[in-house]
Structure 1
Amino acid sequence: MTLDLIAVGDNCLDVYLSKGHMAVGGNALNVAVQWRRLGLAARYLGVVGKDAEGDIILAALGQAGLDPADVERRDGSTAVTLLQEQGGDRRFLLEDLGVGLGYVPEPGRKSLMMAADWVHLGTNTPVSLVQDLVRSGRPFSVDLSTRHDALPLDGVPLAFASGPERADIPVEPILAAFRRRGARRTIMTCGSRGAYLDDGVGVRHVAAWVVDPVDTCGAGDSFIASFLAAWLKGLPDDDALLEATAAAAATCLHEAGYPQTLGRIPSWLLEKYADVIASAEVQE
């Protein structure tokens, strides 16, 4: 059986200033790329600006096996994140969501979404899109990340969220809150603590793989993509969780949310954000 999978939402150009390179990512984009890497019929619906940053993201999508024509271009800026790393700590100098904030596909692309076998909504999804999918009865998932209260969950088939990594913080009350708000199933990833699945009846736990991470960026997105790929093929929850955990660990062993050629930061981009970079340097 061939599954028609569509990821909808965020993309971003991650600029690692301290390393001199940049990568393409974003929750929804990463999930779609990982699906393609698993050999699945996946598409990515998103939006970029009519700028050079958007050109970079579209080129990367094509290299990853996705169709750049599925992505809209609108007036405004492409999402960009400026990062610096010091002693292993990541510092965000800028998180500009650009035209992707609150993205809703135009009617033609939205019709494609409504016909998919499964839809995954990335972070910063607008309430209206969640409500449309619930009303349609279309199977879907949404990534809440750390914004647990950002969206209504009544009727949501599957919610993904990021949870506490500290072992002294109980996860059951958090999962119970998702259940009370209407999520039928919730998966919460908790870093080195592993992941928890609440199916409305009980809670399952899978331990995280122990690795020496190069970069944890995108590990949660790989978890989501792998879990859905396995689960939608009919694997039991426990087996799908194991596959997802292995995929997340593998992503931690390379830079960026998926394997890609890291681009050098062009001089025009450094000039464009010179004020932001200079302000950060003054604060150090």
Structure 2
Amino acid sequence: MKADILCIGAVLWDIIGRSNSHMERGSDVPGHIVRIPGGVALNIAMAAKAYGMTPALLSVVGRDAEGDELIAACDRLGLVTETVYRSDDLRTDVYMAVEGGNGLIAAIADAHSLEKAGDKILAPLAEMPDWSGPIALDGNLTLDLLSQIAADTAFASADLRIAPASPGKAERLIPFLTHPSATLYVNLEEAGLILHAAQPDAASAANALRSRGLHRAVVTDGPRAAACAHPGGVVTCAPRQVMVTRVTGAGDTFMAAHIAAEVEGADPDTALTRASEAAATYVSGDTY
């Protein structure tokens, strides 16, 4: 199976607790708890597959029972898993989140195996010297590895698409501000952290990132207008207003839809509109 997009980063199990109740610190409410395949790179891959692409995963998964289950699940989804590094001494990573009717309450990402594996996950790239498709990176990689990729001449002309994974990891993406062909996908808070200054809206944030040297910036702002600042200017799109029933993975779905639209030849305005619609559909989906 030949891939047309590489997804590099977290491939793990998501444990998500969801409730329709408004929650605060200390809340104890009824809801549903599920375990599903997740991680930023895997979320992007699953969404890209749904949009007709064939993603290959570059990550680490342990040779434990959880890892065997996860690889089997990815295989059933039609993802390329031969590129995943299977470790004998690192366990399969896991992410845990609690979501209420008022959004994400708290989350913990245990991606220590991904961090410890380091550049071993990039080994399959040596067999792809002529790769010209998009490469989706996520900020769960260490700052050292992200900096290495940003400075590597092998990636100088690559179509890099980067997501921070969470606000707490947003500053790891600063090395890509001067990369000649990188696109950052961030929300308004993450943009402010990278810029070290709060931004009033997505368009302002996207333009500010471009002024720092970034090739292209795509900034979302929840139910408010998203923006894409590119060498030809800036476009914005107000997302469809929906009832939010889930949030984990929404940004990854947005990013995958945007990439898929552009691979199909969509212009900046159309690609942003499709991505915004995909995210709206995702967050309004049925809860588990």
TM-score, normalisation: structure 2: 0.77
Measure the CA separation in 2 of the matches of 1:178 and 1:158: 10
Alpha-carbon displacement from aligned partner over 1:156-176 (angstroms, at most 9, x marks no partner)? 4311111149xx934455334
- Match of 2:97, SS? strand
Listed as ranges, the matches of 1:225-244 within 5 Å are 225-244=256-275
1:157 paired to 2:188: no
Q: Which runs of 5+ in 1 are unaligned?
A: 257-261, 263-284
What secondary structure does 2:223 align onto?
A: helix
Please give the alpha-carbon distance, in whole angstroms, between the structure 2 residues aligned to 1:134 and 1:174: 29
- Tell me how far 1:210 sits from its aligned partner: 1.1
**Distance verdict in 2 for CA 1:41–1:68, change over 3 Å:** closer
Report how far residue 70 of structure 1 moved: 2.1
Letter in 2 for 1:118: P
Using the TM superposition, give the Cα deviation of residue 87 of structure 1 relative to its aligned residue in structure 2, in angstroms: 5.5
Could you tell me which residue of structure 1 aligns to residue 11 of structure 2?
Answer: 11
1:81–1:92 contact (8 Å) kept in structure 2: no
Aligned residue-pair number? 255
Task: String of CA shifts for 1:185-240, please: whole Å, max 9, x gaps.
Answer: 11011111131111144321101111112212111111111111111221111111
Question: Percent identical across equivalent pairs?
Answer: 27
**Could you tell me how far apart the structure 1 residues matched to 2:39 and 2:122 are?**
23
1:45 aligns with one of 42, 50, 58 = 58
Question: What runs of 5+ residues in structure 2 fail to find an aligned partner?
Answer: 18-30, 191-198
102-111 vs 182-191, greater mean Cα deviation = 102-111
* Structure-1 separation of matches of 2:111 and 2:122: 22
1:42-90 CA-to-partner distances (Å, cap 9, x unmatched) read 2121111232332232122112111332211122222212333456454
How do residues 79-118 of structure 1 correspond to structure 2 at under 5 angstroms? Answer: 79-85=93-99, 88-92=102-106, 94-101=108-115, 103-106=118-121, 108-112=123-127, 114=129, 115-118=131-134
In structure 2, relative to structure 1, the CA distance for the partners of 1:142 and 1:52 (3 Å cut) is: same
Q: Is the contact between residue 195 and residue 206 of structure 1 (CA under 8 Å) also seen in structure 2?
A: yes
Instruction: Pick from 126, 138, 158 the counterpart of residue 122 of structure 1.
Output: 138
- Do residues 72 (structure 1) and 85 (structure 2) align? yes
Aligned partner of 2:195 in structure 1 is none
Judge conservation of contact 2:55–2:80 (CA < 8 Å) in 1. Answer: no
Task: Quote how far apart the aligned CAs of 1:21 are.
Answer: 1.9
